[in-house]
Amino acid sequence: MRLLRRRRSVAVRRFDAGRWVDDGTAAAVDRDGLTVATFNIWFDDYYAEQRYRAIAELLRERRPDVVVLQEVTPPALDMFTALPWVRNEYRSVSVVGGEAGNYGMLMLSRVPIADASYARLPTRQSRGFLKAEFALTGDRPVVCGVHLDSGKSSARLRAWQLRRIFRALRKAHDAVVLGDFNMRDAENGRITAPYADIWPVLRPHDPGYTEDTSINLMRLDAKNKERQVRFDRVLLKGTCWRATTIELLGTRPISADLPRVFPSDHFGVACHLDLCASASGERS
């Protein structure tokens, strides 16, 4: 297991004059609501381009303010950052390859980013977390994209990783932590105040499985075993924002011609946050 604590800044880029360049502007903007989304896009080559384009279309339709993608390979990074609507509307922050392993994370944001960094976690699988501080009028919320170690045997390691992430965010008044936590239900008790796990808060009677082989036949074919788990989550900390809706993404095949091919082996998650009235009043 690699135990590397190094944290480093990550460039925030915007598309300008035909290329991605460092974004030196982070002027604060007003937002009364934010939509955040997470999607583990599956690094496998199996129908990769078609799957990535299906994920891109799901995101294009919804235009989340912040998107965090996991298992992003160099070809996937190139594809997503070449999309015209991404180039026109989003800033990008990425850690792909190198210290992140064979794949990594990409964050896309329509909101100005004041600062971004990547920190390694104690890990057996080259995992870390991508953190961005956003420039909003009267607030600097933090969004943290995560991908924790996988496997039942890594439960204690995931607890360690989660503590490390929460410690890194201890000074943030408002924070969203989202991504692939790889946590089973037995580990839910590790998410404690001041963090709220949004899916069971808003949809307590819906299991919200993000790996569900009763629906995702591609996942069933790949692993040849049944599984229903809620690996992918959105956590919220703070009093300025409240979650109002949450939904799964990518729960249908990519086309009628490919009924056993889904956008990913995971479903994505999208969550909308509203600025609380008290925070809005303080800002004005």
159-183 residue pLDDT tens: 999 999 999 999 999 999 999 999 9
Say what the pLDDT of residue 139 is: 86
For residue 282, pLDDT over 70 is answered with no
pLDDT above 80: residue 99: no
Residue-level pLDDT at 138: 86
Q: What is the largest CA-CA distance in the chain?
A: 55
The whole-number average pLDDT for the span 16-39 is 93
Mean local confidence (pLDDT), 253-271: 98
For the chain, give the mean pLDDT.
94
Phi, psi of 114 (to 5 degrees): -80, -30
pLDDT at 5: 46
Whole-number pLDDT of residue 1: 45
67 pLDDT band (50/70/90 cuts)?
very high
pTM for the structure as a whole: 0.94
Residues 35-47, mean pLDDT to the nearest whole number = 98
What's the pLDDT at 100?
A: 66
| 25 confidence band (pLDDT: 50, 70, 90) | confident
Q: Calculate mean pLDDT across residues 199-215.
A: 98
pLDDT bucket at 280, cuts 50 / 70 / 90: low
pLDDT higher than threshold 60 for residue 3: no
What is the rounded average pLDDT of the residues 242-246?
98
Instruction: Report the percent of the chain where pLDDT is more than 90.
Output: 88
Type of residue numbered 5: R
